[in-house]
Every structure is written in structure tokens, then in C-alpha cells.
């Protein structure tokens, strides 16, 4: 019971009492992100996962014990549920079970993703349920999990990332240059000096670039630039 007292929302900052994400353009409130319920033990790894999802503008994750599923569904109304099946909470077995009474009450129409499934466990036994849309073994790359979460919460953006449909050609040369500098970790002032423009102009280029590539914050845009513009030519 004492473990549950440590579950709390992870915040990257506050602005007017509201959690915020620093994007380089403005302070975006975390409330703008879709909610995801992360059912797990409050380990360092799970808290880092929640912080990562929020800081990268994917979603805001609420940590809770698996036994709190029904209560959290009513309070938070999440768009997605992540269930860590390695949790020590005995309710995990009930959530995954096939019984008709108590187990059925623990099911929800909200999509669920299983994480940290032991490598030797066959995933197909879980995927017969309509509410379980995906599962990931504990030895699979984290990027695959993130891509699946993006595809469920931001389908229009994930299609572009997955199939390369967000063309760098849609960006202007200045926007591409700003994104390249961003990927190197440069601040807005340093980018302005490098491109011989004002910091305000840099912010404008970033705003336009964010909109075109479907990113919501500075870190996500830098990662996009590292992946997509690494071999692209400025024209």
C-alpha cells in the first residue's frame, strides 16, 4: 500500500500552476497532450518512461498501480492504457485473465498496450482480445513502442514518420538550416548568429518547421532533424 503513495504525475516545469513543456517557442501546457494511463510499479524505469513521453510531446502519462485501473479510467478518461505485466501488483493477472466476472469488469474499450512481456512468452495469447492492440517484449527496441503509441494517438503524424511522407522538400532552406542547427544542440541565439538573422526570425522558422514536420517541441524536432535531414541537401 505504501508503494502506491509514490505514484504521481511527472512534470517538466510549471507555468501559472500548470505543468509545461519547453518547446523553444513558448511554454506549452501539458494539458494539451493526450492522456495515457501507465499501469506499473513506480520504478525508476517507469517514471523515466513517463517523463520521456511527456518531454518529447507524445502524451502525458499518469502512473498508477494496476489495481487502480477502474478508478483511474473514471477519473482520467485516458486515450490509451500501457500495462507493465512485470508489475508486482496481483491485479495484473486479473486484467489479463479470461474469466467472465471480475476479469470482465477490469476490461475497457480503451486500447491497451502490454509492455515488458518476458522474451519467452508468446504474444499471440494476449492479442486475441480486442482491447489489447499491441504488446512488446522486454528486449524489443524502445523506438518500436514509441512508434506504436504515436500511431494510436497521432495517426496523421505517424504515417508520415513511418513511410517518409513528411518530405524535407516541404521545408524552406532557412527552416532546414535551423533544424540542422537545432539537432546540434544550438540555442536560438547561437542559431541566429550562425544564420545572421534575429532570434525572433529563428523562432518564426521553428514555428513553421514544427507545423510542417508534425512535432510539438524542441527535442522532438531535433530528433526528427537528426533522422531525416542527416543526408539531405540544403538545395
Q: What is the pLDDT along the chain (235 residues), one digit of tens a residue?
A: 444 444 443 334 444 454 444 433 333 455 678 999 999 999 999 999 999 888 877 889 999 999 999 889 888 889 999 999 999 999 998 888 754 444 455 566 889 999 999 988 888 888 888 889 999 999 888 888 888 898 888 776 555 444 444 454 478 889 989 999 998 889 999 999 999 999 999 998 988 888 787 777 788 888 888 877 765 543 4
Q: Give the per-residue pLDDT at 106.
A: 55
At 39 the pLDDT is 95
Q: What's residue 102's pLDDT?
A: 44
Q: Is there a single domain that holds both residue 26 and residue 69?
A: yes
Q: Phi/psi at 82 (nearest 5 deg)?
A: -110, 125
Q: Name the pTM for this structure.
A: 0.59
Residue 25, domain CATH: 3.40.50.2300
Q: Is residue 111 domain-shared with residue 137, that is, in the same domain?
A: yes
State residue 189's pLDDT score. Answer: 93
| Whether residue 188 sits in one domain with residue 141 | no
Please report the pLDDT score of residue 234 as a whole number: 39
Q: Supply the range of the domain harboring residue 221.
A: 166-228
Residues 66 and 152 in one domain: yes
Burial per residue of 152-185, b for 16 or more beta-carbon CB atoms within 10 angstroms, e otherwise:
bbbeebbeebeeeebebeebeebbbbbbbbbbee
Q: Which of 102, 133, 160 is where one domain is finished? A: 160
Same domain membership, residue 177 and residue 86:
no
Q: Calculate helix-pair angle for 199-213, 188-195, nearest 10 degrees.
A: 100
pLDDT given for residue 22 in this prediction: 43
What is the structure's pLDDT at 26?
A: 37
Amino acid at each position: 500500500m505504501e508503494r502506491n503513495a509514490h505514484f504521481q504525475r511527472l512534470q517538466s516545469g510549471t507555468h501559472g500552476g500548470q505543468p509545461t513543456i519547453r518547446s523553444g517557442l513558448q511554454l506549452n501546457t501539458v494539458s494539451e497532450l493526450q492522456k495515457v494511463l501507465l499501469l506499473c510499479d513506480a520504478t525508476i524505469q517507469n517514471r523515466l518512461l513517463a517523463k520521456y513521453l511527456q518531454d518529447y510531446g507524445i502524451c502525458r502519462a499518469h502512473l498508477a498501480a494496476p489495481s487502480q485501473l477502474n478508478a483511474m479510467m473514471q477519473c482520467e478518461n485516458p486515450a490509451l492504457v500501457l500495462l507493465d505485466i512485470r508489475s508486482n501488483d496481483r491485479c495484473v493477472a486479473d486484467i489479463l485473465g479470461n474469466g467472465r466476472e471480475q476479469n470482465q469488469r477490469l476490461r475497457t474499450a480503451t486500447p491497451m498496450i502490454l509492455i515488458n512481456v518476458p522474451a519467452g512468452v508468446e504474444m499471440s495469447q494476449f492479442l486475441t482480445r480486442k482491447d489489447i492492440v499491441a504488446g512488446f517484449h522486454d528486449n524489443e527496441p524502445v523506438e518500436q513502442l514509441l512508434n506504436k503509441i504515436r500511431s494510436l494517438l497521432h495517426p496523421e503524424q505517424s504515417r508520415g514518420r513511418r513511410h517518409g511522407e513528411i518530405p524535407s522538400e516541404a521545408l524552406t532552406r532557412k527552416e532546414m538550416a535551423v533544424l540542422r542547427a537545432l539537432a546540434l544542440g544550438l540555442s536560438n541565439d547561437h542559431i541566429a548568429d550562425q544564420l545572421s538573422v534575429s532570434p525572433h526570425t529563428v523562432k518564426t522558422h521553428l514555428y513553421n518547421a514544427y507545423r510542417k514536420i508534425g512535432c510539438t517541441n524542441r527535442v522532438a524536432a531535433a530528433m526528427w532533424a537528426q533522422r531525416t535531414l542527416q543526408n539531405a541537401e540544403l538545395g
